[in-house]
Structure 1
Amino acid sequence: MKKKKLLFVIESLDCAGAEKSLVTLLSLLDYSKYQVDLMLFAHGTVLEKLVPKEVNILTPLEYTTFSNLSLKNALVNSIKKSNFKMLTSRMKFSLKIRKNNYKNAQKARLFWQYASKVIETNPTFYDIAISYSQGIPTFYVSEKIKAKKKIAWVNVSYKLDELEKRFQQKFYNTFDKIVAVSDSTKDIFLETFPDYTNKVKVLYDINDPGFITKMAELDGGFEDDFDGIKILTIGRLANQKGYDIAIEACKKLKEEGINFKWYALGKGPLKEEIEQSIKENHLSDHFILLGVKANPYPYIKHADLYVQTSKFEGFGLAIAEARMLNVPVVTTRFDAVYNQMVHGKNGLVVDMNPAAVANGIMKVLQDDNLKENIVKYLKVEKKGNVEELEKFYQLIG
């Protein structure tokens, strides 16, 4: 039987929710039936080493390679080729985004407006082409890929203003199906794009308890010898993840005299701002930025408590991973939180402010009976959702 040709497109395989979800999906696919290509806009990130050997990671786009050159080398490259189109696109985009604090959707639009004309079309014809995140991957699959069927993933609560809606609608019009990773993600997407009701399908981020348990047993994890309470947060150092809430909550825990350290795994644009806030609040011994780790699971396994202070999420994959490793969760009440959280059973869902987060943490830490019951519940609740793989196979026909 001839294999179906699949293409997945995502910006990178950095250590974040959509990226981990894609790596898990790729690890479960039946490669006797599918020939799989993977297109990335950034290479060399931590999760690439976990991509199955059967997956063909495509050569970087010419523009991607050009964008990684120093400005001097980019200029030399342009002079040698007597072609300044890429340099012009790169300079216009760089200058534009320096002037304002643009949101992700705005940055994606500006990038595509400046760079799309110099990004080459993929010559391969695919049976199925999938943009596995919104923004640039969606624009790329829409305009630069030929396929029998195109599917767009939406893995955040996607609220767009009128300008962004008008810009993106012409791309989504080219897709056969749109996948939302939770019911709330679907509802929010359809508030912006009500015309796509018949196109949108819910397919949860696939997570495999067996894979995560095995990864948690490998070497790694906390390297200090701290023997107090270990709190863990995983998330990009960006506004979405609510690190401002986390740091204020951390400050309140310190004032209560609790013997703890709060560790954060992630990187992102707010790193310097968060470091400065940690310093200003005298929390350098209490709030520890660990950067990105290819295997976060030993950290989760050895944490006493997992805390998510997100302001919005499409699903909340790190919460699901903590649950799979039987670690109690305290999380803010973001849109999609009740897709997996049962308040008072597998953790606590609290208001989106520092006092509520700090109080939730203290409640779990100080009430031994509550914590014991949460762990008991975690050990018996349904883990993972590999059955979503069958929905994926149905989706791609």
Structure 2
Amino acid sequence: MSQKKKILIRIGSLRHGGAEKVLINFLKNLPENKYEIDLLINLYTGMYIKEVPSWVNLHYLLKGEMITTNKPNEIPVKAFRVLYQKMFLWFPWLLYRFVLKNKKYDVEIAAIHGMYKELLSSPQKDSKKIIWIQNDIFNLKEYTPDAIRQFFKFDKILVISNKLKEEMQKVAQSEKEKQAVIKIFNPIDKDDTLKKANTIINDYPFSDTTPTFITIGTVYPQKGYDRLLDVHKKLIDEGLKHQIIIIGDGFDFENIRTKLNDLSITETVKMLGFRDNPYPYLKKADFYIMSSRHEGFPTIIAEALILNKPIVSTDVSGIKDLLQDGKLGIITPNSETGIYEGMKKILNNQELADHYRKEIASAELPFVLQKSVAHLQEIIDNL
């Protein structure tokens, strides 16, 4: 029996979020007999804590709820937390001696790009280091060219879309650095999605046979729901009957609802707010519409493909990979006109919608859980 590889994985917390869900999906499906995994989280909190497999050793720096406000009584706690975490960044040997009990690791992984300094400060110079970029860092102000250069100190840089891979390789200064950038699909648990989609719901908002689009996501300006409502109104005025369901909440919720009322489209657009399980609604709808201005890796598109929904989406990061350059759905220019043309095209052409359903049904979907997990194992094993 060969020795198990000892791996340290670091992430901020296990709250609801894309990177956190991805990590849990991987951990649940890695073979226990091959790896010995220590998971270190800064703050012991979040809905995914209970989903960490029992064979994974869970360590944490602090316990308590995430503080997202600046109330005066919370400031001392926030300050203490920041200092406490900074101390381990300044004196990493303290962390490795007292929290991790002097364990030696073969591989250290930052499961989210924000942990890159923590990993690079590791006193274990012999361990192989991996960083996982889960967002379009080229659209985030804090990632200056100098900060992005730091990522090339890692042995492997995992990215979640071809667009990110191309951007990172442009920054690379040698062939070796280019080779270090690897695209890996975020894993989607197909069986879990299908099972959740079969749940019975009693509050589906439409009952007739009018074509229905659905969109799911936090109600932020980046999601472009304002553009979607304008396009909907225009199409309705032109006599193209259809309906839209919006699932999600967020700080823009009231603005979008006000706009809905102002445009007098409350009969044909329904905002359902947050749903723990949006998949039965997605299953019942005819099409998925994504009107986003930008995205990291839109997991919901992968889930819509699993449920065989024709998709109309703006050209955002990750979408060309997911829709196989337009083979599995309509990719529109990232504008209101683009969204309008895309929706009009699918509403006017029933055969096109059927064509996409057939293409999706017969496509090899690369983000299926088993494939992504096998790819990650291969990366770890070959280090």
TM range (shorter): 0.7 to 0.9
Q: Does 2:178 align with 1:184?
A: no
2:42 touches 2:60 (CA, 8 Å); kept in 1?
Answer: no
User: What is the correspondence of 1:206-355 to structure 2 with a 5 Å cutoff?
Assistant: 206-217=187-198, 219=199, 223-228=203-208, 229-256=211-238, 260-342=242-324, 345-355=327-337
* Equivalent position of 2:133 in the other structure: 154
Deviations 1:187-227 (A, max 9, x none): 1223345564232112122234333223323x265723422
Q: What percent of counterpart residues are identical?
A: 26
Deviations 1:214-253 (A, max 9, x none): 3323x26572342244322233333443333323223334
User: What is the correspondence of 1:111-130 to structure 2 with a 5 Å cutoff?
Assistant: 121=95, 123-124=99-100, 125=103, 126-130=105-109
Q: Does 2:323 align with 1:373?
A: no
C-alpha separation between the residues in 1 aligned to 2:288 and 2:345? 14
* Equivalent position of 1:25 in the other structure: 26
Deviations 1:67-88 (A, max 9, x none): 479845446x77xxxxx95289
Aligned residue pair count: 367
C-alpha separation between the residues in 2 aligned to 1:71 and 1:23? 32
Shift of 1:329: 0.6
- Matched to 2:168, the amino acid is F
Shift of 1:269: 4.8
C-alpha separation between the residues in 2 aligned to 1:138 and 1:280? 46
Distance 1:249 1:41, change over 3 A: farther
- Matched to 1:213, the amino acid is L
2:36 touches 2:56 (CA, 8 Å); kept in 1?
Answer: yes
Give secondary structure in 1 for the equivalent of 2:117.
Answer: helix
Shift of 1:322: 0.9
Which stretch has the larger CA shift, 300-309 or 26-35? 26-35
Shift of 1:331: 0.8
1:74 touches 1:87 (CA, 8 Å); kept in 2?
Answer: no
2:149 touches 2:171 (CA, 8 Å); kept in 1?
Answer: no
Which stretch has the larger CA shift, 384-393 or 320-329? 384-393
TM-score by length of 1: 0.75
2:223 touches 2:291 (CA, 8 Å); kept in 1?
Answer: yes
Give secondary structure in 2 for the equivalent of 1:362.
Answer: helix
Shift of 1:326: 0.7
Gaps of 5+ in 1: 79-83, 91-111
Give secondary structure in 2 for the equivalent of 1:387.
Answer: helix
TM-score by length of 2: 0.77
Q: Does 2:120 align with 1:139?
A: no
Distance 1:253 1:144, change over 3 A: farther
Shift of 1:152: 0.8
Give secondary structure in 1 for the equivalent of 2:163.
Answer: helix
- Matched to 1:393, the amino acid is Q
C-alpha separation between the residues in 2 aligned to 1:224 and 1:271? 19
- Matched to 2:135, the amino acid is V
Distance 1:10 1:244, change over 3 A: farther
